[in-house]
Amino acid sequence: MSKIIITPLGTISPYTKGNMNCPGFLVEYNNKKIILDCGNGITRLLNFPSDLKDLNVIITHYHKDHFGDLGALQYASYVYHNLGLLDKKIKIYLPKNDIGFNKASITSNNESYSDYYDIDNSCSFLIDDLDITFEDNNSHTIESYMVKLQNENFKIVYTSDIGTTNFSKLVDFCKDADLIICESSFLQKHNANSKTHMTAYDAGILASKSNAQKLLLTHFWPEEDKRLYLEEAKQNFKNVEVAEESKKLILRR
């Protein structure tokens, strides 16, 4: 039996609060590890140095709440390598186009035992038989990549930060997903009129139109009750959970 373990490391934005961190998810498959975004605070939920082994880190875009702990992760790789406890570089995948010199700052860090790879719409790579692909929906304030992890058994989509401007293309990217990890920054009561972030209500529509099996909400406002996001999404889609730090979700086939 094949399985994928998904552990939320951070679920709120744009700042940490209590035991909640900024965006990040750990995906484990065949003893390989993928971190989807590396927001502020997520490293306190990782196990060092074991989680550095066979580690791939994907940064979806250059907003600091999505890569604020990357420097800590880089330095941990550097120290544990120098201690003889890490013999393989961590792999860090970054949007190809630099924004605000953030990419340059990350890749020029000399106190890091890491290799760097570009991502864009044409990029893909394999982790065993798990195909990782990317797409910028062009609906966030800056270039921001959705991530799809897919093989013959599983299809998982992480939307990262996304709006409703190109909703039909978003539905196409998520079509028939076993799981959509979807940003839901707002509730309808916020009256945000944002086209660059989604509400929980929007996330429910996305899961329904995509024919998804399950929806996992994330990217919450730190001061808001997560139960309200759940209630709102369930108006459009029933199989919904809210992401909670360290609460594992296991997909099996």
Tally of domains within the chain:
1
> Per the omega criterion (within 30 degrees of 0), is the bond before 8 cis?
no
**Half-sphere exposure (CA, 13 Å, Cβ side) for 159?**
38
Closest CA to 217 of 3, 12, 1, 5: 12
Phi, psi of 231 (to 5 degrees): -60, -40
Model confidence, pTM: 0.97
pLDDT of residue 191: 84
What is the rounded CA–CA span in Å between residue 174 and residue 155?
9
Rounded alpha-carbon distances, angstroms, from residue 189 to 11, 77, 186, 227, 236: 20, 43, 8, 14, 16
Lookup: tokens for 195: 């086209």
Render each residue's pLDDT in the chain as its tens digit; 253 residues: 799 999 999 999 999 999 999 999 999 999 999 999 999 999 999 999 999 999 999 999 999 999 999 999 999 999 999 999 999 999 999 999 999 999 999 999 999 999 999 999 999 999 999 999 999 999 999 999 999 999 999 999 999 999 999 999 999 999 999 999 999 999 999 987 788 999 999 999 999 999 999 999 999 999 999 999 999 999 999 999 999 999 999 999 8
- Domain hosting 17: range is 3-252
Domain containing residue 139: CATH number? 3.60.15.10
pLDDT of residue 175: 98
